[in-house]
Amino acid sequence: MTLAVDLTGKVALVTGAGRGIGWAIAGALARAGATVAVNDLDATSAERTARALGAPARACPADVSDPQAAQEMIAKIAADLGGLHILVNNAGIEPHAPILEMSPDDWGRTLAVNLSAAFYTSQAAGRIMRAAGGGVIVNIASIAGHNIPLPNRASYVASKAGLVGFTKECAREFAAYGIRVNAVCPGVIATEMTAALRGNAAQMQKWLADIPQGRLGQPDDVAGVVLFLCSDAAAYLTGQAINVDGGKVML
């Protein structure tokens, strides 16, 4: 993927970047010249991504669903790396269970990681970006946030629909500070999150029958759109939820 975007001098935080889509986004932003702060719950995988990107990328392990940990991480990034210009809320989990079997803990954890974390990080980063005169926030939601059936994943669907709603309200509020806020809604992407279902031939056939482009997405398919949203080419684009799904959902 090549897209001529120059993010030299920008500091970017990507949450959940130890693998998968976050890894690809961190790589795309680093190749465009940004200094990338690589967050993940797991310190080893955050460090692995940061090492793969090379200096000046920095590992910032933290549980972004913990408001204090998220705020402290962002304050430290801004102090150590010279500000925070781009925030990509990518960390996510997808527990599977029918509603009648889902535990309150699983429900709460999904909402905390997929939705509340974006509020904690956007608030902390938004204050820094407002003081600096602007910035960019990209939330990795899902086509599941647009009323797409996803059996046994009610907490996930609720969290992603919430994240799309939060993106729009955040975009309205933050526009006055020069901060653009958008969501990217991936379809089925080949990562660890979909590994078990990708191993099921019947499920694969069902997915592919629904995707006009006839293939699952790759992490770089999402990263390219995130890179565009972080660039000046997207200067007049805010409050949008953009599907990256090979045409599966057309709104």
Catalytic residues, which ones?
A: 156
Find, among 241, 234, 238, 236, the residue nearest to 5 by Cα: 234
Non-local CB neighbours of 245 within 8 Å, separated by 6+ positions: 143, 185, 186, 187, 188, 211, 217
Residue 140 contacts ligand NAP per CB under 6 A:
yes
Pick the binder of ligand NAP from 8, 149, 176, 192 (CB under 6 A). Answer: 192
Roughly what angle, to the nearest 10 degrees, separates helices 20-31 and 43-53? 30
Measured from the CB atom, is 3 or 249 closer to ligand NAP?
A: 249
Measured from the CB atom, is 31 or 48 closer to ligand NAP?
A: 48
Residue 189 contacts ligand NAP per CB under 6 A:
yes
CA-CA distance, 166 to 109, in Å (whole number)? 18
- Identify residues 222-241 at the interface with ligand NAP (CB under 6 A): none
Q: Edge to edge, what strands does the sheet with 135-140 contain? A: 58-59, 35-38, 11-14, 86-89, 135-140, 179-186, 241-244
Torsion sign, CA atoms 170, 172, 178, 182: positive
CA-CA distance, 168 to 165, in Å (whole number)? 5
Other Cβ atoms less than 10 A from the Cβ of 63: the count is: 17
Question: What are the tokens at 225?
Answer: 């759109």
Measured from the CB atom, is 126 or 186 closer to ligand NAP?
A: 186
Measured from the CB atom, is 78 or 91 closer to ligand NAP?
A: 91
Per-residue binding string, ligand NAP, 8-47, x by CB under 6 A, is -------xx-xxxxx----------------xxxx--x--
Pick the binder of ligand NAP from 3, 47, 48, 63 (CB under 6 A). Answer: 63
Residue 6 contacts ligand NAP per CB under 6 A:
no
Residue 121 contacts ligand NAP per CB under 6 A:
no
Roughly what angle, to the nearest 10 degrees, separates helices 67-81 and 117-132? 30
Near ligand NAP by CB under 6 A, which window of 97-105, 124-132, 184-192, 206-214? 184-192
Min. distance of Cβ 56 from ligand NAP in angstroms? 21
Measured from the CB atom, is 75 or 132 closer to ligand NAP?
A: 75
Residues at the site binding ligand NAP, with contacts judged by CB under 6 A: 15-16, 18-22, 39-42, 45, 63-65, 90-94, 113, 140, 142, 186, 188-189, 191-194
